[in-house]
Amino acid sequence: MSESLSEPADESAPRRSGLRGFGGAGPSPWTDLDRPPLDATALRHDLLGPGGFWTSVDVVARTGSTNTDLAARAREGLPEGAVLIAEEQSAGRGRLERTWTAPARSGIFLSVLLRPAAVPVERYGWLPILVGVAAASTLGRVAEVDVSLKWPNDLQVTIDGTERKIGGILTELGGGAVVAGLGINVSLRADELPVPAAASLLLAGAAVTERDTLLRALLREFADLYREWTAAAGDPQASGLLPAYTDRCATLGRAVRVQLPGGRELVGEAVAIDGDGRLVVRTADGTRQPVAAGDVVHVRPESG
């Protein structure tokens, strides 16, 4: 994902005993009553069942990276539809090797295992975009917060006229499986923000910050969108994913500065998302250049 989840790191296997994993000598998860632990049993009851997409839901107290842990299980043959949720991550990293830290139980930190066999590998790049659309749609509907997507998949809100990031996505491919990670700041307070440009649902005035409710809605929304996307063999137009993304993409129509790999920079106007999920930037001379990877900065008009 973007800066909210983790890339592979060598971590010992997490405890897999659901909420019982919170026992032992560690601090009680009820120390902060505003941040109760997730109810793993209730989540399984609501999300698992005949005909459903999700096949397992595990909650662990703490791990280095849910992406790393789930990728290891994928190599052991874990089926599609597995969900791994951590109350806290100690080695969260995201796009461009950035780190992401947050207090225990202050956010949603999860990874899901996907095996989209009916989709050509060249269309797998749409998966982080699909996760972003599912998250933005869910938060808008359930938390009643206007969440937009900064290309490619940063989740952001506007507070006092300033765009601030509340989460992001990181996907990893290996062994025929895709692990998609998502991190969302839910209850971070102002003095807990890692950087000034960050925010949380709480600070954005969300109507709902109860993580169990948000998780159930998010996973159901993702499952619906994923099934539509795979049924269309990953076609972003036929599945409706491309128009759903462009409707929520705050980058389109904006002046941008794109920091490209190798230290190069591209300046222009973001005019489209192409069929491969690339950002199309029109430069001052009218050239339209697709960008597959880069760090985008939204340029304010007054700053040129």
Domain 18-246 in CATH: superfamily?
A: Bira Bifunctional Protein; Domain 2 (3.30.930.10)
Residue 92 has pLDDT above 70, yes or no: no
Tell me if 18-246 shares its fold with 252-303: no
Using 50, 70 and 90 to split pLDDT, how confident is the model at 8? very low
Evaluate if residue 143 carries a pLDDT over 90.
yes
Residue percentage of the chain with pLDDT more than 90: 79
Q: What is the mean pLDDT of the chain?
A: 88
Quick: pLDDT tens for 194-241: 999 999 999 999 999 999 999 999 999 999 999 999 999 999 999 999
pLDDT digits (tens, 9 = 90+) for 102-115: 899 999 999 999 99
What pLDDT does 102 receive? 82
Q: What is the DSSP string of the chain?
A: --TTS------PPPP-SGGGGG-SSSPPTTSSTTSPPP-HHHHHHHH-STT-S--EEEEES-BS-HHHHHHHHHHTTPPTTEEEEES-BSS-B-GGG-B----TTSEEEEEEEE--TTS-GGGGGGHHHHHHHHHHHHIIIII----EEETTTEEEEEETTEEEEEEEEEEEEETTEEEEEEEEE-S--GGG-SSTTB--TTTTT-S---HHHHHHHHHHHHHHHHHHHHHTTT-TTTTTHHHHHHHHBSSTTSEEEEE-GGG-EEEEEEEEE-TTSPEEEE-TTS-EEEESS-EEEEPPGGG-
pLDDT digits (tens, 9 = 90+) for 37-86: 999 999 999 999 999 999 999 999 999 999 999 999 999 999 999 999 99
Share of the chain above pLDDT 70, in %: 85
Structural domain boundaries in the chain: 18-246, 252-303
Q: What is the pTM of this model?
A: 0.87
pLDDT band at 33 (very low <50, low <70, confident <90, very high): confident
pLDDT in tens, 247-263: 999 999 999 999 998 88
User: What is the fold, at CATH topology level, of the domain defined by 252-303?
Assistant: SH3 type barrels. (2.30.30)
Average pLDDT over residues 145-166: 97
